[in-house]
Amino acid sequence: MAIFVDPPLWPAHGTHFSHLISDTSLEELHAFAAAAGIPDRAFDGDHYDVPERRFDELVAAGALPVEARILVRKLISCGLRIPARQRDKSLKLPLLNRWNTIMPGHDALFLDLLDRWGEEHRKYHGRTHLLAVLEALDVLTEPAGSPRTVLLAAWFHDAVYRGVAGQDEEESARLAEDRLARAGLPDAEIEEVARLVRLTSDHRPEPGDDDGALLCDADLSVLGGEPEQYARYLAAVREDYAHIADADFAGGRAAVVRQLLELDPLFHRQRARELWLDAARRNLQGELRRPGAGPADCVSPQSEAHLQA
């Protein structure tokens, strides 16, 4: 029997939730959940969401406590993990729960952002990426949590996405300025959210910009994923740029990867470096060594300008 539970870090419904998984089979997971009295509605495809009040009880019943990142790795390695992009259509509720912790009562703005993140042309830069960034922020700031401005910047940072590097971030920042002003946020908060959104264009916060570093680290956390996760990321990014010819994409992507490897630091916060830096360097260097990874100088300037991480 191999049942695992991560710490109750995930906020919703006025409490925090843990994830309960099996690294053997869903049958084993369902049996454990039934014996523990966890309702069927708590099952979410490859795990159960359980409130923090049940954590000690589940550990006493035999669930092994592990860090969130370890739990995800176990789920991936056993083949039970549902790829994030397959969840895209079912993310309304978890995203709504998160939205209500920072902007309760602004349902129209939530639905506008949800629609934007769910646009059909998005493959990687969709709702699953948004949720992944929000979850990475949780991990980096536990147990205190992120400032509201950082969370709002995460919500807006790819709210406009046409696959044009620099322009997308600028238009997303302007959208944040407009929508948050309408929502009645103080000018200082709006200015900070827009500043943070613009930072995701090059992921180069100034020294001492802790909030900028936090958002940039969370946005690039996918680079430090396990090999299968990174392969899914690459496949989704290629679909995002399906309109670009293979040769131009290969050259443009190689340029992006080299720019990422030249970032010093790639991750700014100590926690982010511990979690993702080694794997990110392996993934990026391995990508450059793959057959078909074009040299940076074989791409047209127009195509390179359209590629983002």
pLDDT attached to residue 42: 85
Residue-by-residue pLDDT tens, the chain, 309 positions: 699 999 998 777 778 889 999 999 988 999 999 999 998 878 877 899 999 999 999 999 999 999 988 898 888 888 888 765 455 566 888 899 899 999 999 999 999 999 999 998 888 899 989 999 999 999 999 888 899 999 999 999 999 998 888 899 999 999 999 999 999 999 999 999 999 999 999 999 999 999 999 999 999 999 998 887 888 888 888 888 888 888 888 899 999 999 999 988 999 999 999 999 999 999 999 998 876 565 544 333 333 444 566
Q: What share of the chain is helix, strand, coil (3-state, %, to 5)?
A: 60, 5, 30
- DSSP label of 21: E
Indicate yes or no: pTM above 0.75. Answer: no
pLDDT attached to residue 242: 80
Contact 218/137 with Cβ under 8 angstroms? yes
pLDDT attached to residue 258: 93
pLDDT attached to residue 292: 58
pLDDT attached to residue 15: 83
- DSSP label of 7: -
The values of phi and psi at residue 5, to 5°, are -140, 135
Q: Which of 61-77 are b and which e, b meaning 16 or more Cβ less than 10 Å from the residue's Cβ?
A: eebeebebbebbbbbbe
Distances (CA, A) of 272 to 46, 109, 137, 208: 26, 30, 10, 16
